[in-house]
Amino acid sequence: MKLFKSVVLAAVMASGFVAAPALANDRQTVNVVAPEYPRGAERRNLEGQVTVRYNVTPEGEVADVEVVEATPAGVFERAVLRALEQWRYAPSGETTEGVEQVFNFAFAG
């Protein structure tokens, strides 16, 4: 389980670095929480991916989260949404819209 968490965190961080240049104001993340692998998916050895789009409020909170794509559907979305509730960006005084983030759920080889 610890190995998986490090893989998810690495995937989140890697995808975050890819997404960071797309942020209009170069807003930096202050708190990033990796989603927990759903126990049922882990027991069934399911892997997948979730792409989300959201806005960042002037205070740095994530808002208006929308699941763009999820494979397999209905398995990993809740874990991603719970994690994003805890994400924080540096306050900037303005809203950043349309941030996309990809979360990969995979077991280390």
CATH code for the domain in which residue 59 is found: 3.30.2420.10
95/51 Cα distance (integer angstroms): 20
- Give me the domain span that covers residue 75: 2-105
Give CA separation, 106 vs 3, 28, 46, 51, 92, in Å.
Answer: 11, 26, 8, 15, 34
Domain count, the chain: 1
* HSE, side-chain direction, 13 A CA sphere, residue 84: 25
Q: Would the pTM of this model clear 0.95, i.e. be above it?
A: no
Tens of each residue's pLDDT in the chain, 109 residues: 444 443 444 344 434 333 333 343 568 999 999 999 999 999 999 999 999 999 999 999 999 999 999 999 999 999 999 999 999 999 999 999 999 999 999 998 7
